[in-house]
Each structure stands twice: as C-alpha cells, then as structure tokens.
Structure 1
Amino acid sequence: MDSIRSTKIKLALQQISETVFVGLCHKVGTLQLVAMRRDVLDISEMVENQMRSDGFSAMFSGSQREGFRLKGSDLDYMFWRNNHRVIWDFSQSQYYNTHRQTLILCDCSDSPPGFTLLYLLSPSMYRDIQGSCVRMKNRHYISSSKYRQMACSVNYTQHGPCASRTIGETDFDNAVCFVSDFWPSSASSLIDRCHSWPQPRVVDDIVKNGCHFVAIGHKLGNHEDLEWRISFSLAEQKLVFAMNHCQYLTYGLLKLFLTEIINNGVGDDDKLLCSYHMKTAAFWVVQQNTIPRWCPQNFLGGFWVCFKLILKWVYEGVCPNFFIPENNIFLSKIHGEAQHQLFKRLYGLYKTGLTFLLNSPSIRSYIMTFLQIINVLHDPGLSICTDEHFVISEAEFDRCLLDIQSCIRYLYTIEQMIGLPLLTQYQVLRLQRHAAFALQNTAFILHMETYKHKNKLRYRADKTSCYMLKLAAKFGCITDMLHIAMYYYKTLRHIETFSIIEMIKVKLSQSYVMYMGNVDTEMYTEAVGGQSWSTKMRQAVAWGILLDHRIHYISEFLAEQQCALQNGCGILYFPPFVLLYMLEILCYRHVDTMRAQKALDDLQTLVHYDQGQFIDLRYRDISWQILGICQQATGNLQAALYSYQQSLRQEPLNNIQLATEMRIQDVCQWNSLIT
C-alpha cells in the first residue's frame, strides 16, 4: 500500500509540475516567444550601434533583454566610449594604439573581490572623465561617485550605478561604464568548473568578450567613492540564453516567488533579496548539475532545489557571485538581525513546503489547490498538454509579439541590414518597423528642407514625401496612416485629410483590431489568423504614435516638442485615438463647425472617462494637453484651462510641463483681454 501511495504521490507531483510549467509558459512566455523577444532587441541593438556617431557603443541588459515581460521587468542601457579601454596589466597595452586609445589600468590590490580602482595611464580628452579624476598615490584615479553624478541628468535619479527613470511599470536604467576586452583573472574559475553547463563554446564566447565596469563601489571597501564594480552583464545574458526552457522558466518562477511572496508588502528599503540573487541561485544550480533532468515533470523539483540553496545562503550569510565566488554579494546587506529575521521567514516557508506557492497570484490558479492534493492524486491518468507551441492562441502570441513599447530613435537605412544572412522572422518584422519609422521621419524632414524652395523642387519633394508615407503605411500598422493625415493637414489638403481620417476610423472600429494588448481573440483569429505577420500588422494592429522632437510635424505640437527636447527627451508619445480626433477637429473647425464640435465632444468624453482601454495611463499627460489645445483652438478657454491643469497632474511621461504652463499663461492672458 505504501508503495502504491508513493507512486500516486510521485505521479501527482509530476502532473502538478506540468501544470505549473504550462502556466509559466502563459505567464513568462513559450520558448518561441522568448526567442522572438530576444531577436527583436538583438536587431534593435545592432541598429543602435550602427547609427551612433558619438564614439560610444551600447548594449541592452536587464530582465527584458533576457526575454521577460513580467510586471516590473526592467530594460537597462549600458554604453561606453570606444576609444577608452581597461586593461588588467601593462602587458596588455601592446594590443592597442595608444595614440588613438586611452588606456585605463585596474588596481585591485586594496579592493574587495569583484571591485577595483581605475586609473588613467594617459590623459583623457573628455571633460566628464577629467572632472571625475582624483589624485592619489601620484596617479589619477577615476572616481565612480563623481562619474556617476555627472551622468545623472535632471530627469533621472541615481539607482546603484545607473541613472534611473520609471515609465509606467517599467524601470529604465542608463549606465555609463568602461569596457575591457580581457577576462579578469579573478573570474578564471568559471573556465575550469563549467563542464556540463554551459557548453565550452559558450564559455569561450563569454571569456572572449571580456567584461565591463560600472560606477559604484563596495559599501565596506576602503575607497567606496573611487571603486568600480566589475560587471558581467554580457556574460549573464549569454548564460541565460544558454538555459533550456525549463531552466529559464525556473528562473522566472524564482522572480515571481521573490516579488509576490518574499517581498510582497515589504518597503523598498527593507527588501534584502533581489532578482540578482535569484539569478545567481539559478546559475549555480544549473551549473552544478544538481537536477538530473530538467523537464516539465520535474519543474517544481528544480525550483525547490534553488529555494533550498537560497535558504542555505541566508543561513550562512554568504551568497557567492557566480563569476567571482570570493565576492559575497550578501556582505553589505544581509547580516545581523536582518539576516536572522529573513532566515526565520524563509525557513517558515520551507517547513510549509511547496504549498507556499499558493500565496503567489500568478501561480495559484495553475496549481489549483495543494491542500486537496490527495483528491487530485486519485486520477493519476490525468494528461496535461505541455507542448509550448500550442499552450497559447495565435492571437495571444501575436499580441505579445506586437507589444513593442518603444521604437528606435534614429533614421536608418534598411538596405544595410536587410541583406544580412540568417535573419529570423521576428527580426524581419522589427526591421519593417524601423523602415516605416525612418520613411515617416524622412518624409517630414524632406518637406522641412524644401518648402521654401522653387515650385518645381518643392513639387518633386512633396511627391516623394507622399510616396514614402504611403510606403511606410504598407510596412506598418493601421495607425501609421496617421502620419499621412498629419502631412496632408500640414500641407493644407483638408479634403485628403478627411478621407484618410474616415479610412482610419473604419479600420480602427473593427472588432478584431489589437491595441495595447487588448484583442477579441476569436474575431482576430477569424479575420487574420494564419496570415503573415506583415498582413496582420497592416490590417489588425494599432499602437501609439512616436514623434521625433527634432522634426516639425504640425505647428500645434511645436511648444511640446521644444519643451520635451530641452528636458532631454527625444520622442513624444501619443495615443492614436486622441491624435485622430485632434486632426479631425483642426480640419473641420473652419469648414464644418458642427462636425468639429462633435469630434471635440468625442475627444472630451474619451479623455475624461477612458479607463485605460484607449488611452494608456502613461499617455494621459499629452492626452489632456491635446484636449486643451483643441478647446483653445475652438474658443472654449475655460475648458482649455481646466484641461491644461489636469495635464500637469498626470505622470510626466512626455516632459511637457513647461509647455503646459506656457499655454496656461496664454489662456489667462486671453481671458483678461476678453473680460
């Protein structure tokens, strides 16, 4: 009887593991979907670096770069000067032309493991580096604290080594750093201990690409303000990419466990464990080959081993960095009474067993109930589909695919990239977005540069601009047609503008249109299911409008563009429905006041009462602003004043507060003249 019961329990745990695995495919992403997300950022990073002309190289990092899109997943941005290189000893200087490159030497002699001092071997020509230098031991050391302060602009706050900004639920961290082409000797143990995972070619690739240095010192170091932390962000990316999907989802489950159970209800200052500790645990467990087989049936077993390792680390007060094990990343934070209380809490979870996962809102529905596990076990023949390619519908997959929050901010010549071999279908789709964005901006730039020229040249430029905007609409989605409407309005072709507006309205009114992740799955599948992604994007997808501040689109936006540009923002974000109503109001106000008033009423209802369905909460500052502009343009000054005041109360995503204040002053002056 005991053996039968043991077999039933084993089968039940396998089935529950499979259930949670499938649930995590929904929540975190399937193998195919995660690969797509990475491909999209791969091509974006490639475009970014090809277009840079400021002497910097850049790299995306953070949870989103790893393929996650969980609540709070961050997207970090690391960039460094190409003509500055860090070396570990003088012998490595032979590989550089010192007339063209400034060399920086590491001095680890008086720093904790994983940290170093950096001093210039030759003067730097850049003011930010010169201004960060501190003279010590007859050398010019680069102070991490000074360098970090110079890199942190007025719109960002310091977050560790980064200049941080939060937009909606996503944290964006910018880290100005230095790079070394050489792997540090203190991390050489990675080469020797990695036998089964990752594969030797991955280890070779990691070592060949060196490391970075970010501007933060060890809190217990002798020179905290001067020290730099050795960053293995690129190596960590390669390790995460080397995980199989079961290992990756285990890492994802650890992140959910952290945010929804361990840190739930805990203030930011009291959070002792972080996502990096979860990642480190996943690395060690996978590398040490503790789990004989990573598969859906053993999914919770892999998570449990990771959890026990974290519990052991907290008990001992030692969490070894994966690359430099001598670097205890608990050292400055998890010790004393705080360590004791954290261990008590984790040990309480350990005694509860895996049922503590019921406290996770993301996991609870997939487990159903561990408290009734015995009843579940009585049906050991229960089968659960674990094929990742079929656990989500086509519409849900496409919704994730097209949930791209930001576009590349550069004009880009697609021909340089389109011929590259081995492009994935996701990268081709991303290139189409770049092509549409580039064509739209080029069309308006061409008009800016030629509108004062002779008629013949202006006529040719106008035809070219119209052609590029129509071509961009073929590459892009429904709302890319709004650029055509803006151009027609800008060039005083109101009849053509009306026609485009009506066409967009008809397309957006279809029940199968996907916007902001919202879609009627059945209608979407019926309308465009099975068609190419290019067709789906053109016929059934809408997303926000991005306007480059350096380009003059229509005069009504000039004040907002100039204000945001002064605050260091390069892009203005618009909800497409708000922009559509605005163009309709501006066009009709002189020819059909009744239709203009109807459009204004519709816009006012949308801005006042929308609960996030058509206006992303992050875009409410510009939405209230546009409503105010339209009310002011139609003579309703009191309503415009109220709208501008509401704009100031919203999250300042677009950094247009100064423009709003100027418009408020303008309305008040008009009011005083009238009265």
Structure 2
Amino acid sequence: MAIQKISESVYMGMCLEMGTPQQVASRRDIIDIVEMLRSNENRPFTVMLSGSRREGFRLSGSDTDYMRWPNNHRVIWDFSQVQFYNTQEHILILCDSSESPPGFTLLWLPLETANSRVMSACVRMNGMLYISSSKYREVTCSIIISGSTPHGPCGSGSLGNVEYDHAHCFISDFWPPSASSWIDRCQSWPPPHVVNDIIRNGCHFVAIGHKLGNHTDKEWRISFSQAEYKVVYSMNHTQFLTYGLLKLFLKEIINKGLRDGDKLLCSYHMKTAVFWAIQQNALPYWHPKNILVAFWVCFKLLLKWVYEGNCPNFFIPENNMFLNNIYGEAQRTLFTQLYILYEKGIALLLHSPSINSYIINVLCNPRLTICTVEHSLISEVEFDEDIFNEISIYESMGSVDLRICRKYLHAVEESIGLPLTQYHNVMLRKLTATILQRTAFMLHNLYTNTGSNKQLYIVEKMACHMLKIAARFGFVSDMLYIAMYYYKTFRYREALSVIDITKVKLVQPYLIYRSHVDRERYIEAVGGQSLSTKMRQAVAKDIKLDNAIFYIDELIPEQQSSNQNNQPTLHIPPLVPLYMLELLCSRHVDTMRAQRALDDLQVLVHHDQGQLVPVHLRDISWEILGICQQISGDLQAAMYSYQQSLRQYPRHRIQTATRQRIQDLHL
C-alpha cells in the first residue's frame, strides 16, 4: 500500500509538473488547429512543430523544434510510385538505401530539375546526382533566422529567451518499406485508426548521416517525428507522465552536471523505452497507482539496452541507436552509472528536485490522503492561464500578406462545420481576431498612397469594422488596435473614447495579465463561463506589432531596427501603448490630459516591479517612454529613457533605432 500511495503522490506531482489531462489536451488542440489553418496557406513550404512541445510538454529549458520542407519536392521509394505525381508540379527524389545502415538512405535526384537551393547541395557519385545532407545543412542553416548555428540536422539559436531547432527536410507520402514490420507489431497498440493515419502520412528525411555509414556526409536519416507525436497522443495519461518522469530522471539525475558533449543518453531514448514497454505489454495496466512500477519497467529496459549495447528504433528495430556513441568504454561507464542507480531502487528519484517532495510527503505522513482527481489538482484560474498563454504564443503565425490572410479566413469559415473542441474554438476566435487586425492595417497602408478618396473611404470603413469584430473575438487588450487605427486616421476623439473604455477594463483586479490577477475576483467575475467569454472580458496580453506592417508612424524606426535584426514582432505591455496613444491623441484635443498620460506612463515604467512591465519587455517600454518625452519637449528625460532602453535585455534588438534617436536629440 505504501508504494501505491507514493505512486499516487508522484502522479499528482507529475500532473502539476507536466500538466493534467485537460491541460495536455488543450495544448495539443491549440497547436493542431493552428497547423490545420497553416496547411491552407499554399506556401512553397510546410512548417510543422515537433518535439516535446508538440507532444504536450511545457518543460523549462526545452527547445522549440520545427521541421520545414518544400511542398514541390517528394521522396519516393521506387519508380512505381511516380504514377501518383504530376511531374510538372513535383520534383521527385528517389531513395537509395542499398549502401546505408538501417534507418538511413541516400537521396538520388534522377532529373536535374530541383530548386537552386537543392541543386547547390548536390554531389556526383558514380555519375549520378545525390543531395548531400551536410551540404544541405550548410545552405539551409540560416535561411529562416540568420546567425543560426548547426546542431545535428538543425539550425539552432535563440529568439529572446526561447531556444529553437529548425530542421530543413524532405517528405515522403509513403511509409518506408524498412518500417513495414512496425505495422505488423501494432496488434494492440497504437489503435488501428492511429496506425492507419500514421502510415497514410508517410515520413520525413532530415539532413544527417550515420556516423559509421559509408557515406556519412551524404546520407539522410529517416525521421518519424510526425508518427511519434501521434503515438504519444494515443498514450493514456499515466503513460504520458511516465515518459515525462523519464525525461526528468534523465535531466536531473543521469545527465546532471554533464556537458552537452558528454551526455550519452537523450530524451529520444526515453521515449523509445516507453513506446516499447507499452507495445510489448510489459505492464498490464497503466494507472496512477503504478506509475512508479511503470517507471521501473522502462528503466530496466533502458538498463538492458545499455548492457547489450543495442537500443532498437521503435519503427525500424534494425536501427541500433546506440551504435554512434554508446559502445566500448563509454558503454561500460554508462552501465556502471545506471546500475548504481538501479541498486538504490525507487529511492533514486529522491535525487530529482522536481519529484522528491512528493515522495517525502508520503514517507513523513503515511496517513496522508492523496487526491488523483486530475481536474481538482489545479485551480480554474491556473488552467485558464495555461490555455491563454498557449493561445498567445501560437496566434501570431508569422508575417503574412493579404492573400494569405484571405486564405486563413476561408479556412476558418470551412472549419465551422467540423467537430471542434472548446480549445479549437477559442483558438480559432483569437486567430480570426489577429488576421482581421493585420488585414485592417495592411489595407490602410496599401490604399493610403495609391487609392482614390472613395476607395480609401471604403477601406477605412471595412478596416474599422474588422477591428471591432476582432475586439469582440480577442483579448481585452485587442481594443487598443482600434485606438491605434483611429489615431492613424486622425480620429483623435474616437481613439480617446476607446482608450477610456479599455483603461477601465485593463485596471480591473480580475484581469489576467501574465500571472498578475486577483484570483478570487476572477472567479467572481467570469468563473464557470466559456473560454471565449473569459478571453474577451478578463484577459490581457501584450500588444504585438508585426514588423512587416506599420501601425503608427512613431514606432516605425523601432520596427525597422527590430526587423533588420530578424525579430518579426514587437511585444509591448498593454498599458504602455495605451498611455502612449492617450498622449498622442490628447495633444490635439486636451493638453492637460496629454501631460497626465505622460506622467502615468513615466510612473509605470520607472516604478513597476515586473508585474505590468515584464523585465524582458523593458527595452521597448523605456523606448516608448523616451519617444513620448521627446514629443512632449522634455529632451533630458528622453535621453535618460533611451539610455535606460539600451541597458535592458535587448529582447527586440531596437538598439539601432535607440542610438539614432539619441543622436537626433542634439543635446
């Protein structure tokens, strides 16, 4: 009974660390609906979120992994598959696995008709043209974000405080023949509909060869990333949390204190162990009461693999994933390390800072009652915060043009008849709001200098209508886009009216802004209501200015500087642009109010303790304060604010604009 109670406590702790079933479901639904809309863009490439974030984890320090492939290139396994393609539209690449280790292949280009980027990565072998994985990594590493550095098959780096891995790859619509045995093994798990969906969607090829292969620099690894997240989706929550527990075990115990180059085991090995344990029925029931038994089963399997020097890939078992680095002396050392942990028994988890308290609580309080009813583990406010953070992360969708905005809106319209979850619906509403906001400003910028007065009148009427709809669909803070548009079109009194309404809403104690909220008031105000209602009435997020679209003239230099340094968006705490817009509009109608707005902005930026002006957004906040002070004629104060902006963490990389503004002060 004691081990069961400890298991239940660990399960509860893992729900708090990794997410409850509802949280994980909401994260997955939000990403899935975003990618469904992206598939309607008709861009020359497709981007897919992969890795632990796609699976539903939100672990601090984890990379954000993306896969990207050209839509007009397809990999086939034999010439008989040519019949399924129009060769005028698709460039076909043929697999040649004859000289490659299991799980790897050469990519042969039968006709020299690929795009220039692919052609620049080609090499000749035996008179035939092959796409070199190492050359392809070189030419694609910094395409998306300049300054990215090679990391495995990816281009890696960081945007703000988020690290990323972008893998440029190719796709095959067909399941690999070398993985056909996986289909035969799936008798009980994953379920048939998951297996069929996985097979129907084929696989990918990432640009890295086997270190012991004959053509290391030219080979490509067969990637099952898409299949893997679908397999993870099919896990029950105990299985998912067992996988999460193994990830913590790896990070906080096995690899603790090791440099990256010295880490022999990785998260992928942990995931593979869970996959095999589930499919081989190593545990009859996966339940909160036996999560520690489940962990132990997977750990023993991992220990066995290290002892034997063989970690079989889940989809292609002949691919031994230890061959590259776990052999010889390194293998023996790792086995000794793991066996010492094995001898400690389940007590080894006491070395995990994330888990040990959940074990100690039970050991110190044997009569403790453990609640494993997942929805009672976190409050309604915490659950809502998690969802709205997810929505805010994925609603940006990158820079888009009017054509893509139109396609998004069409895709939203088509989704109305689909069986959608509440998480799908609330994400669709915010995406719609974002698309309408961008469309409104793009239309205005397009027609201001090129349209007739009649066209401009029609466009402005449409834009205002779009922004009002967006405000009804989005966050409380989305009302500020209406105020921005009114200011941009010289309707100062109308802008101030919107600002007055928005200001009242933004200072309500029940408003969620990041983690700043009066939880009791929030429940009183919107508790139990739909997520859409909560979003519209009680949630504020940063104002996001896409650097490809100019919103107000006063921030154009900052947007240009940020854009030139590969930052796609300015993120501004909502009260900062509110006071800025209040000052800019009041200058034309009420100078006393303009001074009050400047005073309010100054107090906010100078004295906020990170609640309403987060530390990582202080660079743009100090910058805006300086702009407002300069406009108001207080040049000494503006100089101080610009200097403060330069001293902050350069989240937006606006230093070029800041230095130019300092020069222009002529003090």
2:389 counterpart SS class: coil
- For 1:271 and 1:617, how far apart are their aligned partners in 2? 33
Q: Does 1:417 align with 2:403?
A: no
Shift of residue 104 of structure 1?
Answer: 0.9
Partner AA of 2:79 in structure 1:
F
- For 1:652 and 1:340, how far apart are their aligned partners in 2? 46
- For 1:165 and 1:650, how far apart are their aligned partners in 2? 20
Instruction: Choose the corresponding residue for 1:270, options 257, 262, 271.
Output: 262
Distance 1:47 1:355, change over 3 A: same
- For 2:510 and 2:253, how far apart are their aligned partners in 1? 37
Is the contact between residue 31 and residue 394 of structure 2 (CA under 8 Å) also seen in structure 1?
no
- For 1:99 and 1:249, how far apart are their aligned partners in 2? 47
Q: Does 1:390 align with 2:376?
A: yes
Instruction: Choose the corresponding residue for 2:29, options 27, 39, 44.
Output: 39
1:91-240 superposed matches below 5 A: 91-153=80-142, 154-240=146-232
Map Cα deviations across residues 84-128 of structure 1 (whole Å, 9 max, x no partner). 111122232233233332111112222222111111011124110
Correspondence for 2:10: 20
Partner AA of 1:174 in structure 2:
H
Partner AA of 1:49 in structure 2:
S
Distance 1:456 1:81, change over 3 A: closer
Shift of residue 642 of structure 1?
Answer: 4.6
2:409 counterpart SS class: coil
- For 1:593 and 1:31, how far apart are their aligned partners in 2? 54
Is the contact between residue 220 and residue 332 of structure 1 (CA under 8 Å) also seen in structure 2?
yes
- For 1:644 and 1:14, how far apart are their aligned partners in 2? 59
- For 2:286 and 2:588, how far apart are their aligned partners in 1? 68
1:61-76 superposed matches below 5 A: 61-76=50-65
Which sits farther off after the overlay, 638-647 or 384-393?
A: 638-647
1:216 counterpart SS class: coil
- For 2:263 and 2:586, how far apart are their aligned partners in 1? 55
- For 1:354 and 1:637, how far apart are their aligned partners in 2? 65
Which sits farther off after the overlay, 574-583 or 263-272?
A: 263-272
Shift of residue 499 of structure 1?
Answer: 2.6
Correspondence for 2:630: 632
Unaligned runs of 5+ in 1: 1-10
- For 2:418 and 2:99, how far apart are their aligned partners in 1? 48
Is the contact between residue 58 and residue 78 of structure 1 (CA under 8 Å) also seen in structure 2?
yes
- For 1:87 and 1:448, how far apart are their aligned partners in 2? 45
Which sits farther off after the overlay, 38-47 or 658-667?
A: 658-667
1:418-567 superposed matches below 5 A: 418-452=415-449, 453-567=451-565
Shift of residue 144 of structure 1?
Answer: 1.3
Map Cα deviations across residues 560-580 of structure 1 (whole Å, 9 max, x no partner). 223333344433322222222
Correspondence for 2:308: 316
- For 1:306 and 1:609, how far apart are their aligned partners in 2? 51
Partner AA of 1:413 in structure 2:
L
Is the contact between residue 34 and residue 394 of structure 2 (CA under 8 Å) also seen in structure 1?
no
Map Cα deviations across residues 338-390 of structure 1 (whole Å, 9 max, x no partner). 444433333232222222323323223322346xx3x644x4xx543322233
Distance 1:61 1:243, change over 3 A: same
- For 1:666 and 1:111, how far apart are their aligned partners in 2? 62
- For 2:305 and 2:324, how far apart are their aligned partners in 1? 14
Is the contact between residue 588 and residue 596 of structure 1 (CA under 8 Å) also seen in structure 2?
yes
Which sits farther off after the overlay, 634-643 or 31-40?
A: 634-643
Partner AA of 2:64 in structure 1:
L
Which sits farther off after the overlay, 577-586 or 655-664?
A: 655-664
Is the contact between residue 492 and residue 588 of structure 2 (CA under 8 Å) also seen in structure 1?
no
1:41 counterpart SS class: helix
2:525 counterpart SS class: helix
- For 1:254 and 1:611, how far apart are their aligned partners in 2? 37
- For 1:29 and 1:150, how far apart are their aligned partners in 2? 39
1:386 counterpart SS class: coil
Is the contact between residue 74 and residue 93 of structure 2 (CA under 8 Å) also seen in structure 1?
yes
2:544 counterpart SS class: strand
Shift of residue 186 of structure 1?
Answer: 1.8
1:59 counterpart SS class: strand
1:334 counterpart SS class: coil
Instruction: Choose the corresponding residue for 1:48, options 21, 38, 45.
Output: 38
- For 1:476 and 1:645, how far apart are their aligned partners in 2? 35
Shift of residue 585 of structure 1?
Answer: 3.3
Partner AA of 2:388 in structure 1:
L
Shift of residue 233 of structure 1?
Answer: 0.5
2:158 counterpart SS class: strand
Of all paired residues, the percent bearing the same amino acid is 60
1:50 counterpart SS class: coil
Shift of residue 608 of structure 1?
Answer: 4.6
2:394 counterpart SS class: coil
Distance 1:564 1:23, change over 3 A: same
Q: Does 1:578 align with 2:576?
A: yes
Map Cα deviations across residues 609-666 of structure 1 (whole Å, 9 max, x no partner). 5443223444333233323323333344454445444444544443434333433443
- For 1:324 and 1:626, how far apart are their aligned partners in 2? 56
Map Cα deviations across residues 253-303 of structure 1 (whole Å, 9 max, x no partner). 112222233333333333322211111111111111101110011111101
Correspondence for 1:354: 346
Shift of residue 449 of structure 1?
Answer: 3.1
Distance 1:650 1:333, change over 3 A: farther
- For 2:659 and 2:534, how far apart are their aligned partners in 1? 41
Distance 1:292 1:125, change over 3 A: closer
1:332 counterpart SS class: coil
Shift of residue 607 of structure 1?
Answer: 3.7
- For 2:322 and 2:626, how far apart are their aligned partners in 1? 52
Partner AA of 1:15 in structure 2:
K
Shift of residue 495 of structure 1?
Answer: 2.5
Distance 1:403 1:186, change over 3 A: same
- For 2:634 and 2:268, how far apart are their aligned partners in 1? 53
Map Cα deviations across residues 218-245 of structure 1 (whole Å, 9 max, x no partner). 2333322211111000110111011111
**How many residues matched?**
652
Partner AA of 1:391 in structure 2:
L
| CA RMSD of superposed structures (Å) | 2.4
Distance 1:257 1:616, change over 3 A: farther
Distance 1:73 1:659, change over 3 A: same
1:103 counterpart SS class: strand
- For 1:60 and 1:593, how far apart are their aligned partners in 2? 49
Distance 1:361 1:585, change over 3 A: farther
Is the contact between residue 213 and residue 228 of structure 1 (CA under 8 Å) also seen in structure 2?
yes
2:418 counterpart SS class: coil
- For 1:77 and 1:433, how far apart are their aligned partners in 2? 22
- For 1:164 and 1:622, how far apart are their aligned partners in 2? 25
